[in-house]
Amino acid sequence: MALPILTRDDFIATLRAGLARGRARPYTDFSLAPLAAEPARFALVVGAGFSAGVVPMVHELLTRTIGDYYFPDQDQSSVERPDDVRSSDSAAFWQEFNQAAVRIGEVALPLDHAGHPQSPGEAYQRLFAYRVVSAMFGGPGAPVTRGEHFLRGFLRYLLEPGSQAGHGSTGRSALNDAHLYLAALLEAQQSAHGWPLAPFCRTIFTTNFDTLLPTALQVMQLQARITDRPERGIDAEDLQAPEGPVHLVYTHGSILRYNPASATTELDELAARNVDVLYDYLRARDVLVVGYGGWGDSLMAALSRGGDAGRVVYWCGVGDAPPASASTLAEQRGGGVCYIPLGRAGSDGLMRALYVGLVADEGRVDPAERYRRWQELARR
């Protein structure tokens, strides 16, 4: 299905016009109590692309980071190993991976001229099926838990630098512009500093495991509720309760819970448990999708069921044309999906433009400066 395409600026103009029409009346002395928070028009879905520049994307994970983790630094040096060393170490990892795959009767992954997987998506799914990695460490009869232990350690190595030395959970503190400008936008919305509009978004669904969103909100001194145990079922009351604070929902789990779900079977289990709750919430709102690949998970399952009349999914991507996942979603919903090409500016550029387009001049801050001051205070 051919999707309508909006430029980034046209989308922001449409969004601002819609929020201006829905502005709520203010609290006055004649009211017995402050009004309940007006529900936001949008829900936000963010994926790996939203953390670009801070957390490695799948291609870098499989061609650089996995080798850096698999072959420990014998010198225990804090200096990052050269890129060509990380590349060759990753190629050696995939060679051993394919040897283990053949030993247990599985098909080897096709590799490119550098010895890296030709299809990063397929390799990621095979990796997090745990079976082959388990065989790498213990032979054909090794329990799957061996591979799971190795790969969960890999994610901690990637997302929790402090855990490498046994210092506990710190998460990453480096942020990109997408996180900073989103946090600044939400702070303006929640405090009404330079915000003459109806609320844009209070609930963010993320498939990422990292701690960047909570950290960005801390930088802007904004409180948030966090839901990060999807394996126990997302509580419908948590989503449908009257809105107030920003709500972060980790639909695949989080690194702080050590429950990240990456394998297809894990995502299928989470979808079966949570799709109804997510659908009931998302169908009543417009949805902005940023940096999300649209793999088969609970969010795609919920979005594919459709939405209430007039509700639209605005799917953002860096390519000029919509990805196959967005087109498939439009076919499943019978329309109601628009594509917004972001180009090289990506999610960073989108969030900067949203901040400038929705927050009045008198309410704007410099998120980068706020972040610099926050870092200075954190290190004192």
What is the per-residue pLDDT across 281-305, written as a single tens digit (0 to 9) for each? 999 999 999 999 998 999 999 999 9
DSSP lists the bridge partners of residue 364 as none
Contact 4, 330 (CB under 8 A): no
- Domain membership of residue 2 (yes or no) is no
Each residue's pLDDT tens digit, 370-379:
999 988 876 6
Shared domain check, 239 and 100? no
Shared domain check, 33 and 113? no
pLDDT at 311: 96
- Domain membership of residue 191 (yes or no) is yes
The CATH number of the domain where 359 resides is what?
Answer: 3.40.50.1220
**Residue 113's pLDDT band (boundaries 50, 70, 90)?**
very high
Shared domain check, 220 and 121? no
Shared domain check, 110 and 235? no
Of 111, 145, 165, the last residue of a domain is 165
- Domain membership of residue 20 (yes or no) is yes
- Domain membership of residue 1 (yes or no) is no
Helices (H), 63-176: 66-70, 83-103, 120-127, 131-138, 144-159
pLDDT at 284: 95
Each residue's pLDDT tens digit, 52-105:
999 989 999 999 999 999 997 755 555 678 999 999 999 999 999 999 999 999
SS3 340: strand
- pLDDT over 60 (residue 341): yes
- Domain membership of residue 342 (yes or no) is yes
For Cα atoms 100, 261, 168, give the angle at the middle one, nearest 5 degrees. Answer: 95
Shared domain check, 131 and 28? no
Shared domain check, 85 and 16? no
Could you give the C-alpha distances from 107 to 95, 100, 144, 241, in angstroms and in order? Answer: 13, 10, 18, 48
pLDDT at 375: 86
Residue 160, domain extent: 58-165
Q: Is the CA virtual torsion 116, 121, 126, 127 positive or negative?
A: positive
- Domain membership of residue 286 (yes or no) is yes
| More confident site: 112 or 167 | 112
Shared domain check, 208 and 334? yes
Of 134, 165, 196, the last residue of a domain is 165
Shared domain check, 63 and 109? yes
Of 142, 165, 188, the last residue of a domain is 165
**Burial of 198 (C-beta count, 10 Å sphere; 0-12/13-18/19+):** middle
Domain count of the chain?
A: 2
Shared domain check, 182 and 106? no
The whole model's pTM is what?
Answer: 0.91
Residue 70 has a CB neighbour count (10 Å cut-off) of 18
Shared domain check, 197 and 130? no
Could you give the C-alpha distances from 98 to 101, 119, 131, in angstroms and in order? Answer: 5, 14, 12
- Domain membership of residue 69 (yes or no) is yes
Each residue's pLDDT tens digit, 122-173:
999 999 999 999 999 876 666 668 888 899 889 888 887 666 666 666 666 7
Shared domain check, 202 and 318? yes
Q: Is the CA virtual torsion 267, 212, 57, 103 positive or negative?
A: negative
pLDDT at 251: 98
Rounded Cα distance, 331 and 320, in Å: 19
- Domain membership of residue 42 (yes or no) is yes
**Per-residue pLDDT averaged across 101-126, rounded?**
95
**Per-residue pLDDT averaged across 25-46, rounded?**
77
Shared domain check, 63 and 49? no
pLDDT at 32: 65
